[in-house]
Amino acid sequence: MAKEFSKFSAGSVGTAPVTVFTAITKTLIMGCNISNTTSYNLPVSVKIVNELSTISIVSGFRLDGRSNDELVKNKIVLEIGDSIVVSSGLDNSIDVVISALEGV
Instruction: Report the pLDDT value the prediction gives residue 101, as an integer from 0 to 100.
Output: 97
Annotated domain spans of the chain: 4-102
Q: What whole-number distance in Å separates Cα of residue 28 and Cα of residue 82?
A: 11
Fold of 4-102: Jelly Rolls (2.60.120)
Predicted TM-score of the model (pTM) = 0.94
Instruction: Report the pLDDT value the prediction gives residue 60, as an integer from 0 to 100.
Output: 83
H/E stretch holding 99 reads strand 94-102
Instruction: Report the pLDDT value the prediction gives residue 56, as an integer from 0 to 100.
Output: 96
pLDDT tens, residue order, the chain (104 aa): 679 999 999 999 999 999 999 999 999 999 999 999 999 999 999 999 999 999 999 988 999 999 999 999 899 999 999 999 999 999 999 999 999 999 99
Instruction: Report the pLDDT value the prediction gives residue 81, as an integer from 0 to 100.
Output: 98
Instruction: Report the pLDDT value the prediction gives residue 85, as an integer from 0 to 100.
Output: 98
Q: Which residues contact 26 (CB under 8 A, 6 or more apart)?
A: 77, 78, 79, 80, 103, 104
Instruction: Report the pLDDT value the prediction gives residue 102, as an integer from 0 to 100.
Output: 97
